[in-house]
Amino acid sequence: MFEAVQQEFETFQYNLENKTWQTTLPSFHLAYSAVRAIQPKVSVIIANFNNAPYLKKMMDSLVNQTIGLEHLQIMFIDDKSTDGSLDVIMPYIENYDSIEVYALDQNTGGAHGPRNVGILNAKGKYLVYLDADDWYDLDALRYLSQLLDESGDDFAVSGLVQSRNGEISLKSKPYFYDGDFKNRSIQDLPAEFYGWLGPQAIMLRRALVIDNNLHFVNQRVADDVTFFYEAMRFSKTITQGSQLTTYLNRDADNVGLSKAINRNFMISWLRALSYINQTFPDDASKERFLSRRIEWLIHDFCLKRNIGYKYSKARLQDFKSQMDLYMGSITFDPSPYFRNDFRKTTWQYLTKNDISGLHRFIFLFSVRWVLNRKLKMKTRKQNTYYYPQLLKRLTRTRLDAYAHVESCTDGKLEISAFSYKKMVGFEVRSINQPYTTRKQLVCQHLSDNKYQVTLPDDYDEVQNRIIVNFDDYSEICLRSR
């Protein structure tokens, strides 16, 4: 079976020593603005397939960048769209400089194809990869490129938020919670950093990509995370900036988002993780990356029910079998990095190959989850809250945290907060603008689980939320009692 997995690496063009990916891309028709930068500072690679409703917002965020169009190469690479995407884009060529439209002659079946076309035709000192339904803050490209200019690093990340039907929420918290860093070793990055490693809010030095033959593997999923993790490995250090640069689109009606988390999705991810595991030496970075990704797969293929791979005991057994096939050589226990008890217990059942026990545990926990979420049922032991127990023999599962307001007097809240995690503070933020309005609150620790928090003078309980932050970057919203 080991040879079969190695053959898959060849088939899906994983190996960095092989350059056949460059010769298997489709041909394209190229159209471009009358004026283009000869030596652009930043090449923006946009892979598109049927994102017409989102293209104007995305393009407007690019043509109005503070860095100036004279420093950009905007590469719109269309993967044989059928929704009129090119009709939206072509007027930009007539009205703005530095825009190139690559209309592929054949559909490649995923974002990897257009992105690789971008790599081969980019001229900028730096590269960014912008999904066609996302958009940038207007200062994003000036800010990110300046970070790399000043640090000399090959890899930079910055603030990222998620937009869902107009509601903004924070995304990839370590990108900005850790503050501003230059030359930060990837071995020092927290595990939560690897909870998100897509193209958003990342800029790379093009020489890093070219010199190491980096490219996107020939599969629909896990191609971008594999690419950016490899880029981190070769860069060795990264730069972090706390400024907001990127908006990730997660609209419920976004047809560009995959709704098919199916068995092929599972295999593709395990293949990618297997390649990373076999290619790079064991160290802190790889352990944290693999742990967070394994946890994510456990969440999707053991715990979730509303995906394209129907939930059953057979699905659990299949997941375990494929994990053994692709990740059988894993040399560490990933569960200490998992976010909650539910996922850690699931890993214990998988390790023991007790699929029947796991199936029973998941069913009973789903009942406990509903009782807690809908009816607010929970049990308390000392300073920790648990999901309802139901059966004595059932594994006890902790709530990550629970916090509520005991009283409010003269702008000061007395709060009871319970968690097995380490609390690092309280924060207030606007519901509509949670990133730019984040403000740490003055806090006094009164006793084991009692805190007094001072509200700002302009606090509005309708427009704002108070958040309890923990040392693993998790958070909960403060409740009224």
The predicted-structure confidence for 101-131, as pLDDT tens digits, reads as follows: 999 999 999 999 999 999 999 999 999 999 9
**pLDDT given at position 480:** 65
Q: Are 68 and 38 in contact (CB under 8 A)?
A: no
CATH topology of domain 401-480: Immunoglobulin-like (2.60.40)
3-state secondary structure of 309: coil
pLDDT at 254: 46
Neighbour-count burial of 231, counting CB atoms closer than 10 A to its CB (0-12 exposed, 13-18 middle, 19+ buried): buried
Q: b/e string for 142-168 if b means 16 or more Cβ within 10 A? A: bbbbebbeebebbbbbbbbbbbeeeeb
Q: Which residues 6+ apart lie within 8 Å of 113 measured at CB? A: 25, 26, 47, 79, 104
- Within 10 angstroms of residue 76's Cβ, the number of other Cβ atoms is 30
CA distances from 31 to 28, 75, 85, 118, 160 (A): 10, 10, 14, 14, 31
Q: Beta strand 401-409 with 479-480: parallel, antiparallel or unpaired?
A: parallel
- For helices 313-327 and 284-298, give the axis angle rounded to 10 degrees: 160
Tell me, what amino acid is at 252? A
Q: Is 32 helix (H, G, I), strand (E, B) or coil?
A: strand
CATH 3.90.550.10 in the chain, residue ranges: 15-249
Integer CA distances (angstroms), 101 to 46, 82, 98, in order:
10, 16, 10
Flag residues of the chain having pLDDT under 50. Answer: 254-258
Burial code of 304-328, b = ≥16 C-beta within 10 A, e = fewer? eeebebebeeebbebbbebbebbbe
Sequence ranges of the chain with CATH classification 2.60.40: 401-480
Nearest 5 degrees, angle CA 401-CA 403-CA 408?
170
C-alpha torsion sign, points 261, 267, 272, 274: positive
How far is the C-alpha of 387 from the C-alpha of 44, rounded, in Å? 47
CA angle, 422 then 427 then 431, to 5°: 130
Task: Specify burial of residue 445 (Cβ count, 10 A radius: 0-12, 13-18, 19+).
Answer: exposed
β-bridge partners, 401:
419
Model pTM score: 0.94
Query: How far from chain centre, in Å, is Cα 168?
Result: 15
Fold of 15-249: Spore Coat Polysaccharide Biosynthesis Protein SpsA; Chain A (3.90.550)
> Cα–Cα distance between 380 and 385 in angstroms, integer?
4
381 CB-contact burial (10 Å; exposed 0-12 / middle 13-18 / buried 19+): exposed
Asked if 309 and 264 count as a contact pair (C-beta separation under 8 A), the reply is: no
- Say what the pLDDT of residue 481 is: 52
